[in-house]
Amino acid sequence: MIETLNKAFCTLPGVGSKTAQRFVYHLLERNRDGGFELAKALVDAMEHVQHCNSCRTLSEKTLCNICANDVRDDTQLCVVETPADIHAIEQSGVYRGKYFVLSGYLSPIDGIGASELGLDELEQKLVERHIKEIILATNATVEGEVTAHYISNMAKQFEVQITRIAHGIPIGGELEYADINTIAHALSGRKNYT
C-alpha cells in the first residue's frame, strides 16, 4: 500500500522515488486529512476539468474566464504551448488580448501534428474573427521555433500581423551567467538605444 502510493507519486513529473517517499511519509505521519483532501481534489479535477471550447486551455466551464471576458481584446491572439504559459503571461499583467493553447508542439515522431495542436481551429479563428495580430509565444526551443514557424506560414494567407515574443537576457539576469544561445539571440536581436 505504501509502495503503491509511492509508485503513484512517481508518475508525477520530476518526482523520483526519494521525493515520493517524502510525500508518503509526510502524509501518513503528519497529515492524513491532507491525503484524503488531495485524493478528493484529484478525483474532482480529473472528472470535471475540461478544455475551453474557444482557446483550448484547461477550464471547468465551456468557456474559460479569459475567453468569456468581453473586456479582453479580441483582435490579439497569443498562441502558447500550455495553460501554464497563460498563467505566466497573465501574472506579468501586460497582455489584454486572448489566447490559444496548442497543448504541445509539433512533433511528427510522437504523432503530434497540426490537428493534434488544434491548428485547424486556429485557422478557423483567423478566417472567422477580426484578429489583427497573432503573437507566437511558443517556447524558445527547437520544437517551439519549428511550431512558431509552421503557424506563421499558415497565418500568412490572412491579413494579420504575425509577431514573435522577444528572447534575450532575462531582466535582472547577468550576461555572465546567460547561456551562449541566449547571448547570441540577444546580440542579433539588439535594438537602437534611445
Using CB under 8 A as the binding rule, whether residue 21 contacts a copy of itself is answered as yes
Instruction: Return the range that interacts with a copy of itself (CB under 8 A); candidates 14-22, 70-78, 136-144, 173-181.
Output: 14-22
| End-to-end CA separation in angstroms for the chain | 65
Residues 6+ apart with CB under 8 A from 66: 55, 57, 72, 86, 90, 98, 99
Is the CB of 28 or the CB of 184 nearer to a copy of itself?
A: 28
Across the strands, what pairs with 107? Answer: 112
> Which of the choices Zn ion, a copy of itself, none does residue 187 contact, using the CB cut-off of 5 to 8 A by kind?
none
Q: How far is the CB of 120 from Zn ion (least distance, A)?
A: 17
Which long-range contacts (C-beta less than 8 Å, at least 24 apart) are formed by 81-84? Answer: 81/105, 81/138, 81/139, 81/144, 81/147, 83/57, 83/58
Is the CB of 131 or the CB of 144 nearer to a copy of itself?
A: 144
Which chain residues interact with a copy of itself by CB under 8 A? 1-2, 4-5, 7-9, 11-14, 19, 21-29, 31-32, 34-46, 48-49, 58, 60, 82-84, 87, 103
